[in-house]
Structure 1
Amino acid sequence: MQLLIFGATGSVGRQVVDQALEQGHQVTAFARNPEKLDIQHPHLKFFQGDVMDAPAVEQAVQGQEAVLCSIGAGRNGKIRSEGTRNIVKAMENASVQRFVCQSTIGVGDSRGNLDFFWKYIMFGLLLRPAYADHVFQEAFVRQSRLDWTIVRPAAFTDEGRTGAYQHGFPGNERGITLKISRADVADFMLKQLSDDTYLHQTPGLSY
């Protein structure tokens, strides 16, 4: 497929790019600083731009078959949600339907999956702006006319891809580790391109 990946130089986005190329996709990596993505491949193109720049996003979306988004903003708010809103608008205008967007476990009906530390210390205090940003991000996606899937991963680890993880568990499931490798997040996101099981759904992802 012709894939456009936002957040391509981030820790998850890099994994998405690598695995998409392994699978034979034609990949366009959207990034402010593409040189950070030290990858060369005949099926890889770079689009230099800022996700907050709506015209640049509109241009990048043209001719794509699917879009994957793993943009982040650290502990700050607004960039993730506003950037995603630009992506959604551009996709709707270009009639590009399939959208796989990375959010975080703990948003919406997955809040019950969190333990005390994540619910009250991390998202309740230290990462409150980032958490709110995810909430707004998901709202923009849910309100769209796209064929969307919102992926809610647990806390990231640096382990390799295993393909052995839990997904789509109920929002009150407590038998999870609240950890998932970045490589497995990418693995799951790419699998959504050929599987409609989670169309218009928000599957959690954890070991």
Structure 2
Amino acid sequence: MKIAVFGATGTVGRLVVEQALEQGHEVTAFTRNAAGIAQRHERLRIVEGDVFDTHAAERAVAGQDAVIVALGDGRKGLVRFAGTKAVVEAMQRTGVKRLICQSSLGVGDSRGNLNFLWKYLLFGMLLRKAYNDHVKQEELVLASDLDWTIVRPSAFTDGPRTGSFRRGFPADAKGLTLKISRADIADFLLEQLTDTTYVHQAPGISH
């Protein structure tokens, strides 16, 4: 499958690219700085540009079967919404329909999955801008006419890929550690390429 990855140099996006190539996909990695991608592969194409630029995003999106957005936030709560907006517009212009977008557990109806620390101190105060950026990002995706899946991971860890995490749990789910490895997040994002279970849904994932 041909896939474009936005946020390809981030801590999750880097693993998405790596695992996608392992699985035999053709990958277009979009990045502001091509030098940030050290990996070279016959099935890897690197497109350099600003993710806020719809025309730049089009160069990566055109001809793809699916798009994975795993944008981080290096610009104080602006990147995820504005970048995803450019990607969605690029997909609409080029006719690419399948979008898999990484958000965060705690957004929307998954807020009930959070504990006091995450709900009121981290997302409520310290990470409020990042949280609001995810909220706006999700609203944008929900309003689109794309075949979207929004993935809501809990806090990232550097653990190995396990495949044993919980997924698609209800907002009142108990016993969550509120942690998941970046490798497992990348694995689940790629799983959505061929699994239609969560089309037009926003599953949470966590150990």
Question: TM (normalized to structure 1)?
Answer: 0.98
Q: Which residue of 1 aligns with 2:165?
A: 165
User: Is the 1:77–1:132 contact (alpha carbons within 8 Å) kept by the matching residues of 2?
Assistant: yes
Q: How high is the sequence identity, in percent, across the aligned residues? A: 58
Q: Distance in 2 between matches of 1:17 and 1:82?
A: 22
Q: Distance in 2 between matches of 1:141 and 1:100?
A: 10
Does the alignment pair 1:104 with 2:107?
no
Amino acid at match of 2:198: Y
Q: Distance in 2 between matches of 1:36 and 1:160?
A: 23
Q: Distance in 1 between matches of 2:2 and 2:189?
A: 15
Instruction: Give unmatched runs, 5+ long, in structure 1.
Output: none
Q: Distance in 2 between matches of 1:170 and 1:74?
A: 31
After superposition, where does 1:169-180 map in structure 2 within 5 Å?
A: 169-180=169-180
Does the alignment pair 1:72 with 2:72?
yes
Q: Distance in 1 between matches of 2:3 and 2:75?
A: 28
Does the alignment pair 1:92 with 2:92?
yes
What RMSD, in angstroms, separates the aligned Cα atoms of the two structures? 0.9
Does the alignment pair 1:33 with 2:61?
no
Cα deviation code 1:132-183 (max 9, x no counterpart): 0000000110000000000000000001101110000001112110000000
Q: Which range is displaced more, 58-67 or 189-198?
A: 58-67
Q: Which residue of 1 aligns with 2:61?
A: 61
Q: Which residue of 2 aligns with 1:16?
A: 16
Cα deviation code 1:114-140 (max 9, x no counterpart): 000000110000000000000000011
User: Is the 1:75–1:127 contact (alpha carbons within 8 Å) kept by the matching residues of 2?
Assistant: no
Does the alignment pair 1:185 with 2:193?
no
Amino acid at match of 1:14: R
Q: Which residue of 1 aligns with 2:142?
A: 142
Give every structure 1 segment of 4 or more consecutive aligned residues whose post-TM-superposition deviation is greater than 6 Å. Answer: none
SS at match of 2:12: helix
Q: Which residue of 1 aligns with 2:118?
A: 118
Report deviation, 1:75. Answer: 7.5
Q: Distance in 1 between matches of 2:25 and 2:153?
A: 23
